[in-house]
Chains A and B, each alone.
Chain A
Amino acid sequence: MLASGSMEPALTLTNVSWRHKIRDFSNWKPWAKRDGPGIHSINLEIKPGFILGLIGPNGAGKSTLMRAICGLYDSDGFNKSSSSRRSGIGYMPEQVRWEGRVSVRNSLRTIAMMRDKEVDIDDIILKVGLSSKSENYLDDLSQGMRQRLSLACALLGDPKILVMDEPLNGLDPLAQRAFCNLLKDLASKGVAIVISSHQVTDLEALVDRIALLHHGQLLIEGTLPNVRKKLELDAGSGIVEMICSVTGINPEDISLDLANDDLLPFRQIGVEEE
């Protein structure tokens, strides 16, 4: 982590909102759509050199927020335009199923051609540990190797901000450790990192700050000790306890039959949706 202080944020989000369009079954028109879930009035500063962990239950809006940051959605509220954001951001989506009779190197080259500056593909391939697989077809890659390829795509063009959605999925423990080391190294060089992961133990050890999302709203953001303090949790409380605290679930009662609707909404956003 770089020395904090009054450094310029790499990206500022002010009242960023975006709603998915979903099929409107109440209408006879097959093409009719209505506003579905999304993110609501997100205010956030992404600072260089910090690793920000996005946490929250399923459907909280983490992936939606990440896509909005990466300019995949046409949403307002950023201090940079969508095209300038895309130039400085490396994005690693969740579980990309790379497939086809195309080599790893060729796939990476295709993505590299979409960047606005020259990229040393061999260097990136080496960095993510794909040197021995660079001429293999995508069809022949394991899930872990596919994750590495997605990471390689995110690292193309020396991005100032890295946005990573569940990057640890499918990686073996050694690769997870190497991955976390790489992220820490990049953060120490001033890269701002936004990461979401359900592997909370790894995440707790990795992140400098966390942002807790629920029902598309950013509930709380800060360093882990600060968040614990604000939520009146013990010093030993982890991310699970934080999520339980804001969703109103007793940690003892957690079970898979808990529907998302059972979770306590922080604000009654359903009323304004109607």
Chain B
Amino acid sequence: MKKTPYFEMTNITKLFARVVANRNVDLEIHRGEVLALLGENGAGKSTLMKILYGLYKSDEGEILKDGETVKIQSPKDAMNLGISMIQQHFSLIPAHTVLDNIILGTVHGRINYTDCEEKVQKIVDKFDMDIDIHAYVRDLDIGEQQKVEILKALFLSANLLIMDEPTAVLTPQEIDKLMEFVRSFVDQGNAVIFITHKMKEVMQVADRIAVMRNGEVVAEFPCEGVSEAKLSNLMIGHQLVEVKSGTRKVEANTEIGLRVSKLNYTKNNIKILDDLSFDVGKGEVLGIAGVSGNGQQELCEALYGSIKIDSGLIELNNTDISNFSTRDRIETGVGYVPVNRHDDAMVSDMNLAENVLLRSSYDKAWSKGPFIGEKKLKAYSDNIINEFDIKTPGSDQKIGHLSGGNQQKLIVGREVHIGSSLLILNQPTRGLDVGAVNNIHAIIVDQCMQGKCIVMVSTELSEIFSLSHRIAVMYKGQIMGIYRPDELNTEKIGLLMAGYSGDEVAAHEK
């Protein structure tokens, strides 16, 4: 007979104004287990958990505790049911002590400090947390601050802990400590939901895995006996293609166009880009493979100039562009198609012509003195519309009214014209239908035949294999190796994406 789950979410649907964040999601969690909620950025993991924690209200569906429907309308309701969530960004008061932070909001009137201290210390000892409860939070490092957040939850006697990407900010040693705590916590009959997109951790700690993609739970299974390659497949949603070599007819020019050396970028003390070096020949497509969130986006933005790198050199056609602003790089001929077009590449409430103008509003070619040269701009936009076969009533149509594929074609078309030397493509076909994907692929092939350098990030391995001349695999901000497509196979690239080095992979093969 099936055991009644501790908590159960059934048929949850959550809509934001323009996106479906969760769609008919069913999820259950039992006492004494660690559930890993795995998925790429934007798959809907955090949204689902925020619904469970009462931060969001679902549009449909219900939540059950021990088989009985419960209403969770605020984090307070959730806490009363024993649910607590550790957010990625902590909510601690730096000027207060650990103890103050823990008892905050739970005490009223005159505070009996001895009592509270005793209670908190008991919890600290029980889980062997090794933290001074009289220290000020401002003096603690990130790992310790996370402990305080966990203690806050335990002080409220939470039995279900939701942790949103808890290891993103931790060092490897701190991660081990955290995992130890998670195990001992669930061994006492509690439950933990672990939101992550890192497969290694999942294998290390989880009992059961639920994989989310595009707002839906696509698979749910016990952790035992699952291979990391299978997890990668599930997360990115496509079976790894059988590698067919020799699909690229054009050989890359050997002349180097883009040279990147020792690129470093750190954010909040975490190394996002770790000493990256590579070069791209003129007419070459360098495919960047990897599970999303391993530094690919930052690499693109570093090349485009929208984030400031700590150190390193970026040379384009023998010019050092490392210190160029985004505007300078656009003028030098760098085009960038970001992964999130709605946020970074287009203005939904502006028309097509205005969106064509977006990246080149400083370009004298499109203005007459201070005024916009509307006729010229319209002719140019119409030209892009025809050239890239964009389905629209006209260039005065708002881009927000177009289908995703047509929006993307306009953006790719615009960047192709701007990027005369270098094209950076971050998942250029994400979320598009087959027809649009083929269109964009044809454009990419055409552009590389024109001798441009192309850097293409993609989580779709079929795309990487069919278009790239060389493939670099990224994991935690490092390049695990750069290979010709015929040097890789399904299993090998899966292992590289999961963080195994080239040597380890070679050993694995034997």
Chain B associates with chain A: no
A: residues with CB less than 8 A from B are: none
Which residues on B are within 8 Å of A, measured CB to CB?
Answer: none
